[in-house]
A and B are shown apart, each in its own frame.
Chain A
Amino acid sequence: MRRYAPRIAGYGALVAAVILLPHLAGEFRVTQFSYVGAFAIALFGLSILTGITGQISLGHGGFMAIGAYVTGILAVNHGVPDLLTIPLGGLAAGIVGFLFGFPALRLAGVYLALATFALAVIVPSVAIAFGEFTGGTAGILLDLPTSPVGALTPAEWLYYVTWAIVAALFVLATWFVGGKRGRALRAVRDNELAAVSSGISLSRYKTLAFGVSAFYAGVAGSLYAILNFIVTPGTFPVTLSILLLAGLVIGGAGSFLGVLAGAVFVEFIPLYAGDVLGPLVDLAQRLQVPVGDVDPTTPGVPSVVYGAILLLALIVMPNGAAGVGHRFRALTKRIYSRLVISNVGSPPKERGV
């Protein structure tokens, strides 16, 4: 029991932070963290596919869109209560993902990446083309969120619902990538040839990974539609799929807790990239660095900042935020062992991510 005490304390701290947040933060921040939760769910899925099974997907925005549209259509055109549509959205996306897994078997590496990219590109166009069901370019407007619990505002209610789903799906994902199945998935990632020689069915595990990760993305998309109360072809552009992948790498592919860091990145960077510039310019001016008169609202400047931040993150944390944790721990361990004069021996080797 004592072995697990630190872990329980850690998780407990996290859970407490999640529960307490709405009481400390303003309304908008609460909604933003609901978005973070939705992205975390999508990233769990992407982590299963890309991190654990090694199949690069540039199309997860497309699966999110499927979930979102299912929610929109069911909620608005058929009066289904919005929260009930979430599993259905996930299911629809999961089926598409599973089916996508079959042709994906024949594709490898870059071809697979580009085929998934194609998916991200096609889904919005298909949504426009079938306008009678999807509202075309105008999309579907959902009802504004309401809260069935008197004590909670709609934003807070949705926040807790979101994070409850996050917790449940986290447990599910941890179970999914554990044990024999997890080893098989990782074997597919590490060396397909060796995996097949060991009797692991590539087709079974790849399609499974696609299906499950698409299910997660679909759930995330449904949630997103409810939080944002609108679904349009432009809600999940190609740039979002790319941003998700970036979030996964930044957070640390294969590590579920890194996923949370990645989700924070996905939500906050696009909104605040431009805002970072203001203080930076002030600082530069105070340090007498000639930066000229840079107006943060000049078009293009937020993009440059965002790209630079991304590059910086990739340079500093090539294994993602989870990797930073590893490296920091390795550093503290080395310091500890140098300070303590005892028969500690050489520092234990760190396992890579």
Chain B
Amino acid sequence: MKTKWFFVTAVAAAATLMVAIPGAVARPAADPGVGRTSITIGTTLPLSGPSSLFARIGRGMRTYFSYINARRGSDGKRGVYGRQIVLKVYDDQYNEAQTVQQTRRAVEQDRVFAMLGGLGTENQQAVRAYLNQRKVPQLYVSTGLSEFGRLIKQYPWTIGWQPDYVQEGILLGRYFRQNLAGARVAILRQNDDYGREFVQGFTSAAGAASVAATETYPRNGGATVIPGPVARLRASGATVFLVVATPTETITALVTAYRLGWRPTKLVNSVGATPGFMAAAQTSAGSADAVNGVVTTTYLKDVAAPAYANDAQVLLFKRLMTKYAPGQPTNEGLFYYGMAKADFFVQALYRAGKNPTRASLMRAAVNLKMNSPWVLRSSKITTSRGSAFPIRYQRLTRYNNGSFSEFGPLVKTR
């Protein structure tokens, strides 16, 4: 009887030690993650679960790094200054608690040099204080919440990438004011900072009085929580429908509206409005009327639009996709998003010097000034400590008969 306890506890102790010891790490010398021949960075993305569509961003980043690692740069060396870029992708399942654990794993165990393009507003907020405390660059987070740019003085190791939600909301709000004034808007938004911020921007430009009704749905609620609110919004009698949601919910909202016989003017946030999603909505509703006329904002070149069919960058994108990610759809904007972001990182890394440190990388990223061929009209990127919003220009674009076409002027955000 007593020997049972002895045996079990001895086994447990041995097992514990066996698991624990391999986790021991050598004392680090220079900045972790950067060696003579390689540099290791990490990202957290939802690889599984409802938002796993966004895993394509990671695939796009990896594809681009494969290209950079294989080609010779202007200094004749492969990679960046002869260092191969290794991207470690961690699955956080869009769950902030997992993001924390995986980020800690990346930093403490795998000793990555920096975190690039982590996805999710709440997810990146969760690890921001931690990464800043450890002075690990939190670069180009994949979310448009404005505070990722606004709070750079408080969190000097964190920087966003895309035009923020307030600015996108303002652009759509201006469109409303100039073309649909007098109409009433029904708003469906996600019940979190993303939804709130976007609508705040929209109403600041469109006027709060224009809103007939607002419905929210819970983040991660899935498609079943959409039809109810959409029916209620329809009953408000509004003739404009603003959808601030993530992909599945956006598609469901558009299809439900169509099924209920509602034909409003549709304004959609860019997160849910790629050509792929529009096509899915059209197929599901069985009619192009469900999606024709959707107006949204954009800041990257559209890989599926005829207007960009001969654009050098889009052609490069398609070539790289075919070579390094065969079998994947080449008209999917999320891959392009990942590649563009990866290129920003490469540019910043070059500017961080031949022997980059985390501090020099962060300095380079926060002071990045260049023309990027990936964004609209290859416009200028001018980041600075005073204005930490890298991508500055956006434009309205409308979906019709299978593709988006931009219209209106190129608008500077902040």
Contact = CB atoms under 8 A, between A and B. Distances in A.
B97 A234 contact: yes
B383 to A, nearest CB: 26
Contact of A21 (B12, B16, B58, B101): B16
Contact of B2 (A6, A31, A232, A260): A6
Interface string A213-245: 000000000000000111010110100000000
B104 interface: yes
Contact of A10 (B10, B15, B20, B24): B10
B156 to A, nearest CB: 16
A268 B191 CA distance: 32
Given A228-B100, A257-B9, A299 B20 contact: no
A302 B193 contact: no
Contact of B218 (A21, A35, A125): A125
Interface string A299-313: 110110000000000
A261 interface: yes
A138 interface: yes
B95 A237 contact: yes
A257 B10 CA distance: 11
Interface string B12-29: 110111011101110000
Given A257-B9, A302-B91, A28 B108 contact: yes
Interface string A277-315: 000000000000000000001011011000000000000
Contact of A260 (B12, B101, B121, B218): B12
A47 B289 CA distance: 57
A233 to B, nearest CB: 8
B55 to A, nearest CB: 6
B370 interface: no
Interface stretch (A49-57, A167-175, A322-330): A322-330
Interface string B29-60: 00000000000000000011000100100100
A26 B91 contact: no
B105 A322 contact: no
A72 B94 CA distance: 21
Contacts of A258: 8
Contacts of B129: 141, 143-144, 229
B100 A325 contact: no
Nearest to A298: B47
Interface string B76-107: 00000000000001010011110011101100
Interface in B155-213: 191-193
Given A10-B7, A274-B91, A234 B220 contact: yes
B20 A230 contact: no
Contact of A232 (B4, B96, B193): B96
B124 to A, nearest CB: 11
Name the residue in A4, A5, A31, A141 with the highest tally of chain B Cβ atoms < 10 Å from its Cβ. Answer: A141
Contact of A137 (B52, B100, B122, B133): B122
A315 B86 CA distance: 39
B407 interface: no
B13 A138 contact: no
Contacts of A10: 5-10
A234 B97 CA distance: 7
B125 interface: yes
Given A18-B16, A261-B12, A299-B52, A139 B96 contact: yes
A99 interface: no
A264 interface: yes
Contacts of A20: 17
A341 interface: no
A108 interface: no
Contacts of A329: 3-4, 7
A27 interface: yes
Interface in B200-256: 218-220
Interface residues of B, number: 52
Given A28-B109, A31-B108, A257-B9, A230 B91 contact: no
Contacts of B122: 137-139, 232
Q: Is the interface of A mostly helix, strand, loop or mixed?
A: helix
A143 B128 CA distance: 12
Given A13-B10, A137-B122, A4 B96 contact: no
A228 B101 contact: yes
A247 to B, nearest CB: 15
A232 B24 CA distance: 31
Interface string A96-115: 00000000000000000000
A125 B30 CA distance: 46
Contacts of B11: 325
A236 to B, nearest CB: 8
Contacts of A21: 16-17, 20
A138 B100 CA distance: 14
B91 to A, nearest CB: 7
B308 interface: no
B70 interface: no
B217 to A, nearest CB: 11
A325 B133 CA distance: 45
A24 B21 contact: yes
Given A28-B23, A125-B218, A137-B122, A7 B5 contact: yes
Contact of A257 (B12, B105, B192): B12
A7 B97 contact: no
A274 B15 CA distance: 21
Given A4-B2, A28-B108, A228-B101, A234 B96 contact: yes
Given A137-B219, A141-B125, A300-B48, A31 B5 contact: no
B350 interface: no
Contacts of A6: 2-3, 5-6
Contact of B19 (A31, A264, A271, A303): A264
Interface string A128-150: 10000000111101011000000
A32 B22 CA distance: 13
A9 interface: yes
Given A14-B16, A28-B109, A137-B218, 11 more contacts: A3-B2, A4-B2, A6-B5, A9-B6, A13-B9, A32-B23, A261-B15, A264-B16, A271-B102, A297-B58, A302-B91
20 contacts: A4-B2, A7-B6, A9-B10, A10-B9, A13-B10, A14-B13, A26-B24, A27-B25, A137-B192, A137-B218, A144-B129, A228-B101, A229-B129, A232-B97, A232-B126, A234-B220, A235-B97, A271-B105, A274-B91, A325-B4
What 10 pairs across the A-B complex have the smallest Cβ distances? A29-B23, A10-B9, A28-B108, A6-B6, A10-B6, A28-B109, A26-B25, A235-B97, A17-B13, A25-B20
Interface of B: 2-13, 15-17, 19-21, 23-25, 47-48, 52, 55, 58, 89, 91, 94-97, 100-102, 104-105, 108-109, 121-122, 125-126, 129-130, 133, 191-193, 218-220
